[in-house]
Chain A
């Protein structure tokens, strides 16, 4: 019996050999999904599990190596049946600790059905010592924003694979809900919307939820895009009458434009709305407002009104800023134009500016440009650009952008990372990508949010909408939000 067990053990261990003794070099980089080749990653990221897209793969073996500070080689392996390479969480954490600030060489081996092992060319990961904010919130929705059913907002810890709903259709009567955003990446200050009866703006102040009805007479709609002032007292927001339309050329698909839009400021302490003719001119479309990190400016996009939808291609948004005094809650009277859509600042035709977001250190202004209009997620040509606010230099982020839509960015609190939604994989489903900006202001090749199973994105039929980074776990859950639905909403004057 003992002998039999011994023989079985030997046979099984030979049959299950996970690492190759010899392998034929293919001389090319592996065809992996997600594309994790040559990327820069933070040390606190979850395991970068991936899938080999080569046709005939019966077994995969991956070894990642880096030279540690004390001159040793640290390695981590991933091996498994089929085309998936998944790393052990504990081993990964230990490895990434040692790899912080280093370059990691990754070698991928695979075995075909004939039992022959192949080795791909080594690629690298650049692991930064600067961490990324560990929490990410997003809405999961089909890529057809005119209708909704079974929506939910989620919070994901990007240091591991934990995900939890923070607002879900199951507890809110299948209502529409809009994206969650933080005030300065602070988990104790954030907001999201639930539309319809019992809904409102759900404001999270240190875990205590307030339900707000941020609407006042004369406003075109409820608030849509918004941003907090650094103190958290003020909320700048836009009201938008959003119209969906359809292109006749099928690759362009959906177009969304505002029939009317204005910007206002809400004082969350006194529940009053602050209006300004600069923010709500009546003649122009004003949208995508955000505070500068020091709270001294409100940055927003503005366009001359045109006949819509006929002249949609003439709808060009410029980016401007206006002063704001947080002490008195007053808006300045003069706007400075940061990017003028009427005078192309770049050599190409991408002139309409959307989604300005200033880095928390106040150094960079990240925004999206597209040919026209205000809904970049459906514009394949939409790209991000980054302005150095000290020098005015514009980086077109060629290492970051793709041939599909890249937009909806949000900064990490240390201003070294930002997340954005990209449709680069299939042109339809947005996914959160992370990009590193080094201390010289150079943006590195981005990578998609890792998932426990590398098949996740292949099987997923939802878009990750408006991803936002947070410094910590949100102090409320979906049940708290559902409970809040029963409370009356605070009104504004």
Chain B
């Protein structure tokens, strides 16, 4: 029996590792891929010595540098899952090397993989950094090096404590706790109680010194670059990030398809669904597909607004064509990103200034992006007129707006450029969602004169107004150009509230409850 186990183990351990790696890759690639994009966007790694040297102003510079360097490649498909799987395998390898040798090699492998699995779970949190994985891997690596050194004698053990622990902290941040724990176990095993006592004093002292030296909070100093929080994968956020990023990459049909396949999509997904529909010029045709709907026009952003909402609002303003508010939302998203650096927002700031014709400001952001691996080609080509950044129409007269009332923003855009049909659809659809038929009619009359919109939705809404005001026949003829819709209106009026008409604005108008 024993002989059999000995021969089976060498094959079993690699097989388990291989299966674990395949499972890890599959989970993150198939079930959780969009979190990688968020993590990539929440930093701005520059290929510049000046930038790299800033890593020395924080503890664990080696772990942070390695993690952030690799995170930038999360931009590419499959790269995120591959990099993470490899990083976790590296972590388990260092852990297996550092953990006390078990009777059976398989147990060591299982223990190491358990640690990697726990870290993989931590990685599911949107703000958990790859740098933290490397901090831990570095901790295990340092731990095994210290233990090896300590085996050589008393003075070597003391050197591992006195020099190794500060060095480990400098390189790997919180990973040094793991290194210390391993070293402590080794010292106690070697009955070097004095050195162990020294270690118990040195490790917290190093953290306290880090707190002073790096001018940071004690907790941050002791846990940098972050120990994370164990929690279940956030698939709701993953779905939102899916539509957010597919929209960002310009895959509008995919956004629509994802949302339509989702049962009860949350407002954040509907927000991107509407953006995608608006991009394709079919917002009014799909406004009532999901009730309640979310256009984003009733939001106001401020210091208490979640980062994701601020980012979303930036996309809305960009689509509508208001460069002032796009820039403001992008800048706010940049401010609220941990570390105040966000590649996607820097790119958006460059785009805003390209469209508003502020060459100097655009150059500032393009120069930054030209130092990144992922965006440097874009930064080179974006100023070219062929890149498609046509100047946004500049308002003829300037006006001051307090707050971010979307209605005011949109009407100003339309006053300046009546051909802005996206803004027009957002205005009319917002009126309709609020069931404010009078505002809808007023806006329709004001902005649809030379730009008549014959969408079925608008025809249905106009009929409600015309019927409600007992408009004379010429008025009906003036507004209603679709006899098929008029005929259906007659049918609906005979059976108001019938679910057969669920797809009509009349049904929505009669049944929807509007939240204040």
Contact = CB atoms under 8 A, between A and B. Distances in A.
B400 A426 contact: no
Interface in B372-394: 392, 394
**Chain A, interface SS category:** loop
A252 B398 contact: yes
B336 A149 contact: yes
A334 interface: no
A246 B402 CA distance: 6
A246 B19 CA distance: 56
Given A249-B398, A458-B368, A479-B215, A425 B50 contact: no
B327 A253 contact: yes
A312 B400 contact: yes
B29 interface: no
Contacts of B334: 142, 461
Contacts of A255: 400
Given A147-B303, A171-B216, A427-B360, A247 B394 contact: no
A250 B217 contact: no
Given A144-B332, A248-B398, A459 B368 contact: yes
A170 B341 CA distance: 17
Given A245-B401, A461-B341, A479-B212, A426 B332 contact: no
A470 interface: no
Contacts of A360: none
B7 interface: no
**3 closest Cβ contacts across the A-B interface?**
A453-B50, A250-B323, A250-B356
Contacts of A170: 215-217, 220
Interface in B210-241: 212, 215-217, 220
B228 to A, nearest CB: 19
B331 interface: yes
B436 interface: no
A354 interface: no
Contacts of A247: 324, 398-401
A264 interface: no
A253 B398 CA distance: 10
Interface in B407-425: 412, 416
B10 to A, nearest CB: 47
6 contacts: A144-B335, A171-B217, A246-B401, A458-B371, A459-B368, A459-B371
A143 interface: yes
Interface in A458-489: 458-459, 461-462, 477-479
A250 B402 contact: no
B192 interface: no
Nearest to A170: B216
Contacts, number: 125
Contacts of B212: 479
B394 A426 contact: no
A168 B215 contact: yes
Contact of A150 (B303, B340, B399): B340
B217 A459 contact: no
B178 interface: no
Contacts of A477: 215
Contact of B324 (A165, A171, A248, A425): A248
Nearest to A311: B400
Nearest to A253: B324
Contacts of B46: 459
Interface string A407-420: 00000000000000
B325 A246 contact: yes
B367 interface: yes
B490 interface: no
Given A170-B220, A459-B51, A250 B327 contact: yes
B154 interface: no
A179 interface: no
Interface in B50-71: 50-51, 53
Nearest to B412: A248
A142 B395 contact: no
Nearest to A163: B57
Most chain A beta-carbon neighbours within 10 Å: one of B46, B217, B336, B368: B217
A147 B332 CA distance: 7
Contacts of A7: none
A444 B303 CA distance: 42
A168 B212 CA distance: 12
Nearest to A254: B328
Contacts of A455: 48-50
Interface in A243-295: 243-255
Interface string A426-453: 1111000000000000000000000001
A207 interface: no
A142 B215 contact: no
A80 to B, nearest CB: 11
A425 B364 contact: yes
Given A249-B395, A249-B398, A458-B368, 4 more contacts: A147-B302, A245-B401, A309-B400, A425-B364
Contacts of B327: 250, 253
Interface string B319-343: 0001111011001101110111100
